[in-house]
């Protein structure tokens, strides 16, 4: 059945199947029947989404709607605090299954948090720490990864002469780009970001946005944001979360110009949230 785009739909109906990717679209990550419980409280009841490769997908919605719960489940950050049911399919493997080596999986599905959390180490060591732990010893190779990761995170020019300096001496925006560089150094496929710019000033925010737009050439990006302009500026797709459900999922330009669901429209118009 064709959907009438102007019609306000029944908001309790599952809408996840409305968006149809092109047949040749590569899906980097997909959740199926995902449900998350904190004790008996079902924080996410309908969280089925597909993420297209080399695109940015924003997760938006009011506080408590389940965005972070969803995002954190994607690379098993909720394992110790919640029960996550359902499948998270990555390259044909359900990475939500018990057999999966979570640390190995996180090399492929990296996460950047809201507050920049660099290690109290030098800029260089922030990038090389995990690589060395994994047994990489070759100095030239390590230096090359430091340079490429910092370049990709648009921080290289500012820190290249100071790689031995403490990461804690960097500005908030620079620290966040260092954390992004640290995540990239592991060569992930997918980068998850939980409000990465919400603690930053407008200039740093705009630099992070530029960085993400460049990174999407090589990475699939999923970002939680409260900033509607940010979602509109940088993302290809947007998922609107409401009370633990993905209520609407579509191309970003459609979500922000012609949302199909009234509640989405209310949220992006600033009527609640």
Ligand X SMILES: Nc1ncnc2c1ncn2[C@@H]1O[C@H](COP(=O)(O)OP(=O)(O)OP(=O)(O)O)[C@@H](O)[C@H]1O
State the DSSP H helix or E strand holding residue 4, giving kind and residue range, or none if neither.
none
Structure letter (DSSP) for residue 273: -
Among 35, 55, 67, 106, binds ligand X (CB under 6 A): 67
Would you call 40 helix, strand, or coil by DSSP? coil
Rounded least distance, CB 28 to ligand X, Å? 22
80 touches ligand X by CB under 6 A: no
64 touches ligand X by CB under 6 A: yes
Whether 87 and 34 have beta carbons less than 8 Å apart is answered as yes
Rounded least distance, CB 248 to ligand X, Å? 15
Q: Which is nearer to ligand X, 60 or 181 (CB)?
A: 60
Q: Which is nearer to ligand X, 8 or 81 (CB)?
A: 81
Q: Which of residues 196-235 bind ligand X (CB under 6 A)?
A: none
CB atoms within 10 A of CB 10: 8
Rounded least distance, CB 110 to ligand X, Å? 19
Rounded to whole angstroms, the Cα distance separating 223 from 212 reads: 10
Q: Which is nearer to ligand X, 80 or 133 (CB)?
A: 80
Angle at 154 between CA 156 and CA 30, to 5 degrees: 130
Among 31, 57, 58, 69, binds ligand X (CB under 6 A): 69
In the structure encoding, which two tokens stand for residue 184, read together? 């990239």
Rounded least distance, CB 268 to ligand X, Å? 15
Site string for ligand X, 81-120 (x = CB under 6 A): x---------------------------------------
Among 66, 116, 188, 259, binds ligand X (CB under 6 A): 66
43 touches ligand X by CB under 6 A: yes
Rounded to whole angstroms, the Cα distance separating 92 from 188 reads: 16
Among 17, 40, 63, 97, binds ligand X (CB under 6 A): 63
Angle at 208 between CA 110 and CA 231, to 5 degrees: 85
**Strand 56-61 versus strand 190-194 pairing type:** unpaired
Rounded least distance, CB 149 to ligand X, Å? 28
47 touches ligand X by CB under 6 A: no
Q: Which of 42, 19, 43, 41 is nearest to 30 (CA)?
A: 19
Which residues are bridge partners to 102 per DSSP? none
In the structure encoding, which two tokens stand for residue 86, read together? 């359902």
Listed ranges 58-66, 87-95, 96-104, 214-222: which one lies at the site for ligand X (CB under 6 A): 58-66
CB atoms within 10 A of CB 242: 21
Among 50, 65, 96, 225, binds ligand X (CB under 6 A): 65
Would you call 92 helix, strand, or coil by DSSP? coil
Provide the binding-site residues for ligand X, judged by CB under 6 A. Answer: 38, 43, 61, 63-69, 81, 241
């Amino acid at each position: 059945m064709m959907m009438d785009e102007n019609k306000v739909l029944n908001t309790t109906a599952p809408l996840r199947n409305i968006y149809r990717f092109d047949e040749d679209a590569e899906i980097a990550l997909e959740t199926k029947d995902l449900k998350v419980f904190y004790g008996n409280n079902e924080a996410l009841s309908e969280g089925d989404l597909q993420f297209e490769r080399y695109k940015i997908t924003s997760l938006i919605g009011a506080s408590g709607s389940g965005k972070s719960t969803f995002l954190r489940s994607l690379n098993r950050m909720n394992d110790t605090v919640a029960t996550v049911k359902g499948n998270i399919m990555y390259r044909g493997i359900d990475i939500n299954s018990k057999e999966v080596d979570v640390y190995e999986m996180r090399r492929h599905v990296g996460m950047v948090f809201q507050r920049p959390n660099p290690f109290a180490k030098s800029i260089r060591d922030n990038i090389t720490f995990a690589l060395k732990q994994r047994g990489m010893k070759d100095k030239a190779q390590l230096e090359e990864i430091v340079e490429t990761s910092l370049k990709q995170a648009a921080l290289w020019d500012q820190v290249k002469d100071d790689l031995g300096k403490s990461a804690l001496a960097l500005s908030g925006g620079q620290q966040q780009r260092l954390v992004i560089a640290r995540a990239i150094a592991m060569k992930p496929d997918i980068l998850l970001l939980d409000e990465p710019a919400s603690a930053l000033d407008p200039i740093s925010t705009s630099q992070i946005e530029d960085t993400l737009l460049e990174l999407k050439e090589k990475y699939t990006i999923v970002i939680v944001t409260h900033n509607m302009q940010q979602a509109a500026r940088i993302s290809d797709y947007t998922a609107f979360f409401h009370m633990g459900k993905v209520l609407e999922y579509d191309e970003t330009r459609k979500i922000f110009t012609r949302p199909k669901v009234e509640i989405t429209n209310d949220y992006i118009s600033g009527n609640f949230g």
